[in-house]
Structure 1
C-alpha cells in the first residue's frame, strides 16, 4: 500500500486455541513490511510460546498504549497485554478463557471509538466456547453492534458483507437456522441492507453508482409462486422500494445464476437471503482471500472469512492470506474515510458564510 492510516489497527485475540495466533504470527513474518501497522490485544507470553512452537522468529514487544505500535511494528510485533485465565493448548479450547477473548474485543472497540486506533480487525472466535463462558450473542456482528450502542450510537444497524476482488455478498439474515431465516425474512430487512450497502460502496469502495443484485429465495425464483411466494410478497416489493429511492437494484434473480463470471460483471454487490446463500459462493470463488466487513458501525471492522480451524491450530498449516486481506481492506477503508473527511473540511472552508 502506498499510504498507511495515521493510526494503527487494533487486532483482537480471537479464540486462543484456534488458528488466530498462527495466522497473526505468520502474517507478521511473511508480509510485515507491506502491512498497515497494527497491534494485537493478547497475552505476550502465549504468542512468544506459539512462535517458538511454529519455528517462527517473531520478536514480541509489549506496549502500554496504541501510539507505540506504529514505531514498533516493523521491528517487533506490538502486543497490548490481555491476561488469560489458563494456559492454552492449540486445538483444545477452554471456556475459562472466554472472558479474556471478550475483553480483547471490548478494548479494541473502545480504543477505536476513543481515537487511539484506526479500526478493528477481529481474529476468529468460537461461538460455542464463548457461549459456554457466558457470551449471549449469536456472533461478532451482533456483539459489536451492542458495544456501539452502549458507547452512544443507538441507531446502529450492522450489516455483514463478505468481500473479495471477484464478488461482494451480503446475507440479509445471518446467524439463524435456515427455518428461522425464512420465517424472519422481511421486505424491511432487505431494504435496510440495500440502503446500507449502497452507501458503504460509495463511501469505502469507490463505487459512486453501485449496482445491487438481489437473490431470490426459492428455486427458479419461485416459479411465479408455484415454488413459494416470498419473491412476490417480500423480495420484489423490497427491490421496488430500493429503486424508488434511487438505488440501482435488480431482482429477485435465481441464486443459481448469480455467481458465474458473466453474472458477477453485472453488479457491485449481491444481497442474499440467508447465510449460506452468500457464503458458499464467495468461499468457493476465493476461499483464502475473503474478508468479512461489518457495515453500518461507527468504526471500521473487518475479519478473516474463516473460523478457528481447531484441527490445524499450532501446526503451522494455517494460511494467513484472509487475515492479510482483512488488514489491507480495513486500512483502505480508513484511508478513504480520511480522504472524505478532509475533502468535506476543505469544502466547508471554501463555502461562503
Structure 2
C-alpha cells in the first residue's frame, strides 16, 4: 500500500481542522490519495461535533494510516493539547502548531509519508511564542537543513490550473524590494523553479516569464533602471545555463489569457505582483507549493480565517487541491 500524505494541524483556532474534516468527507468525489493529520485527537473530535461534520476519526500511526483511511480519517497525535477556541487564537497553542510542522517533515524524511500538506498558521501567534521565521516557507527550509545537513533555498510558488507564479522577494516591506532584488537572487530563484518544474511537474523545458519591477518594465530606463541593470542580465545568465527564461515584461500585461499561453510560470520581483493575479483568477483553488526542498510541500492559498472559524462555512477547495497536487507531485 502506498505511503499516505501528512496534513499538519495549522492554527487550531482557525479553519484548518474544519478543512481537514471536509477534505476527508470529499475524498472519494475528489479522488484524493490517502492522508493522515497530525493533531490533538480530542480537539479534532470536538471540532467535528461542534460543526456537525459526520466524519469518523481513528487515532493511529503513520505506518497504519493508509489502511485506516478507507474507514476513518487517520489522526496521529502530535503529543500536545490544542485548546483552539474558534476564532480566538491561544498563544499556548503555538507549541502544538510548530510541533505539527516539525513532525510532519520528520515523517516524510523517515519515509513514513509521501509529502507534507500544511494547514494555515497565524504567524503573529507564533511570533509571540518565539517563532523566528517570516513564515511557513522559511521554516521548512530550516527544517530541511536540519535533517539533511545541507543548504536549501526554499522558493514559494502559487499554482493553479490557470496560472503559476513565483514572487522573487516575499515577506519584506515593499520599500526594501529593490535593494533585495539582486542578479544572484533572480538567477538562483529561476534555476530552482526550472529544476522543480522539470522534476516535480514533468515539464521537459519549462518556460519562465519574468516581469519587470517598474511600470512598463522601466520604459527603457525612463521609469527605473532595475530592468536594465539587474533583471535583464539575470535572464541572460539563465539562458546561458540552458533555461528558457523570457522578459522582463510589463507586469500589467502578463496575466491576460493570451499572454499566459506563452509561459509555464511567471516570476515577479515583489510579493503582490505575483499573488494578486493568481488570487484574482483562482482564489478558491490556488495552491501554495514550496520548491527547492528535498521533499514536497503544498498548502491552501489562504489564511486561518478566524472570522469564520466555527461557523461551518469554510470552503475546503484549496486544501483539496493542495492534497491532490501533492499526490500528483509524488505519484
State the TM-score bracket (shorter-chain normalisation): over 0.9
1:268 alignment partner in structure 2: 264
2:300 corresponds to which residue? Answer: 304
1:54 aligned residue: 51
| 1:206 and 2:206 correspond | no
Cα distance, 1:109–1:217 mapped onto 2, change above 3 Å:
same
Long gaps (5+) in structure 2: none
Helix, strand or coil: the match of 1:135? coil
- Report if the CA contact (8 A) 1:172-1:273 is conserved: yes
Deviations 1:190-223 (A, max 9, x none): 1111111111111121211111100000001111
Alignment of 1:35-50 (within 5 A): 35-50=32-47
Aligned to 2:178: 182
Does 2:130 correspond to 1:125?
Answer: no
Report the Cα distance in structure 2 between the residues aligned to 1:316 and 1:258, rounded to whole angstroms: 37
In the other structure, the counterpart of 1:338 is none
Q: Is the 8 A contact 2:82 2:96 kept in 1?
A: no
Q: Distance in 2 between matches of 1:88 and 1:246?
A: 50
What is the SS of the residue equivalent to 1:288? coil
Q: CA deviation at 1:29?
A: 1.1
Cα distance in structure 1, aligned partners of 2:83 and 2:165 = 38
Q: Alpha carbons of 1:113 and 1:73: their partners in 2 closer, same or farther (altered >3 Å)? A: same
Which residue number in structure 1 is paired with residue 244 of structure 2? 248
Provide the alpha-carbon RMSD of the alignment.
1.2
The Cα shift of 1:61 comes to 0.5
1:290 counterpart residue number: 286
| Equivalent position of 1:344 in the other structure | none
SS for the counterpart of 2:330 is helix
Deviation of residue 32 (structure 1)?
A: 4.5
Question: What's the CA shift for 1:35?
Answer: 1.1
Matched, 1:80 2:76: yes
Matched-pair contact (CA < 8 Å) for 1:39–1:77: yes
What is the TM-score normalised by the length of structure 1? Answer: 0.91
Matches within 5 A, 1:159-238: 159-238=155-234
User: What TM-score does the superposition give when structure 2 sets the normalisation length?
Assistant: 0.97
Q: CA deviation at 1:27?
A: 1.1
Q: Would the aligned equivalents of 2:11 and 2:84 in 1 still touch at CA under 8 Å?
A: no
CA distance in 2, matches of 1:208, 1:152: 27
Question: Would the aligned equivalents of 1:153 and 1:298 in 2 still touch at CA under 8 Å?
Answer: no
**C-alpha contact 1:32 1:74 (8 A) present in aligned 2:** no
- Confirm or deny: 8 A CA contact 1:48 1:58 kept in the other structure: no
Structure 2 Cα separation of the partners of residues 246 and 303 of structure 1 = 30
Task: Determine if contact 1:292/1:305 at 8 Å carries over to the other structure.
Answer: yes
CA drift of 1:180 comes to 1.6
Note if contact 1:188-1:238 (Cα within 8 Å) is conserved in structure 2.
Answer: yes
Provide the rounded CA distance (Å) in 1 between the counterparts of 2:179 and 2:73.
Answer: 46
CA deviation profile, 1:241-284 (whole Å, cap 9, x unmatched): 11111111111100000000000000000111111111111010
Q: State how far apart, in whole Å, the 2-side matches of 1:69 and 1:32 are.
A: 17
Secondary structure class of the residue paired with 2:216: helix
Partner of 1:11: 7
